[in-house]
């Protein structure tokens, strides 16, 4: 596997030609390193993933990183698309597995959108994401032999990325959806507790709001994450 010293042990980097909605292209440098929780004998997950590119017709550099999530044991996101509209960059990412999906508020359709305001990236809603931006335009499979091929390529053409991505069977990876998915097609809901995650059923099966609140207290669930008011249709100020 092509490994690059500046990333440290276990890091990889490659360049992709990214096709934008207006037919223009930008070159994006992608890099990632590895580490986090994993089964013995299994490869370490992606710890962080970073992209760097210049705005079209400009020397202004832009960088975005999917950072390591301590509560996830891996990076937060899978990158799906990079777009630029009226000199404003946008990122479309999907939460990395179900724990991340729950961490990021269970969005439906299952994306997290970011907009660059010139200095920082800010999360935006689906409604704020421009409707003319519809394509998934970066390589999706970035592990194993597929990653080796990307690293060996030098600069991966946009046409090749499109062809590689045609193999995906994940509906929300084929194009950027605007309609919500069926609840049964989404990750099961889990609640962040003091030392991990707990199924929503541990709260919903309680006989009353008060019993549910005892579970939140016992498991160290923060007021923001405690689902009892929502589950038992009550509004209580404070805990």
Angstrom distance (rounded) from CA 202 to CA 105:
18
Report angle CA 169, 145, 11 to the nearest 5 degrees: 110
Q: Are 84 and 19 in contact (CB under 8 A)?
A: no
| Mean pLDDT by groups of 10 residues along the chain of 239 residues | 40 97 97 89 91 92 96 96 97 96 96 96 98 97 94 95 95 96 93 91 94 95 93 65
Angstrom distance (rounded) from CA 90 to CA 113:
7
What local confidence, expressed as pLDDT, does residue 238 receive?
45
Angstrom distance (rounded) from CA 85 to CA 5:
35
pTM above 0.95, yes or no: no
Residue 1, classified by CB atoms within 10 Å of its CB into exposed (0-12), middle (13-18) or buried (19+), is exposed
Read out DSSP for the chain?
----GGG-TT-EEEEEEEE-TTS-EEEEEEEEEE-S---TTSPPPEEEEEEEEEPTTS--EEEEEE-EETTTTEESEEEEEEEEETTEEEEEEEESHHHHHHHTT--SSS-EEEEE-SSSEEEE-TTTS-TT-----S----SHHHHHHHHHHSEE-HHHHHHHHTT---HHHHS---SPPPGGGSPPPEEEETTEEEETHHHHTSSSHHHHHHHHHHHT--TTT--HHHHTT---S--
Domain residue extents for the chain: 5-180, 188-231
Nearest partner of 87 among 66, 65, 58, 63, judged by Cα:
58
**Non-local CB neighbours of 58 within 8 Å, separated by 6+ positions:** 87
What local confidence, expressed as pLDDT, does residue 234 receive?
67
What local confidence, expressed as pLDDT, does residue 46 receive?
96
Nearest partner of 17 among 145, 156, 160, judged by Cα:
156
């Amino acid at each position: 596997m092509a490994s690059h010293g500046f990333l440290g042990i276990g890091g990889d980097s490659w360049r992709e030609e990214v096709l934008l909605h207006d037919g223009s292209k930008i070159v994006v440098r992608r890099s990632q390193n590895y580490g986090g929780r994993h089964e013995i004998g299994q490869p370490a997950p992606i710890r962080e993933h970073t992209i760097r590119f210049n705005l079209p017709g400009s020397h202004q550099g832009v960088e975005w990183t999917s950072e390591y999530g301590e509560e996830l044991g891996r990076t937060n996101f899978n990158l799906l698309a990079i777009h630029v509209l009226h000199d404003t960059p946008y990122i479309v990412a999907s939460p990395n597995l179900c724990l991340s999906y729950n961490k990021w508020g269970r969005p439906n359709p299952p994306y997290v959108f970011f907009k660059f305001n010139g200095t920082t990236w800010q999360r935006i809603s689906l409604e704020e994401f421009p409707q003319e931006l519809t394509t998934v335009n970066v390589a999706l499979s970035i592990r194993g032999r597929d990653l080796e091929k990307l690293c060996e390529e030098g600069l991966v053409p946009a046409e090749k990325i499109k062809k590689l991505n045609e193999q995906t069977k994940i509906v929300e990876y084929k194009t950027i959806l605007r309609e919500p998915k069926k609840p049964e097609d989404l990750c099961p809901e889990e609640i962040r507790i003091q030392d991990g995650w707990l199924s929503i059923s541990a709260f919903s099966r309680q006989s009353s709001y008060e019993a549910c609140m005892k579970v939140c207290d016992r498991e160290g669930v923060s007021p923001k994450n405690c689902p009892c008011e929502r589950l038992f249709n009550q509004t209580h100020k404070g805990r």
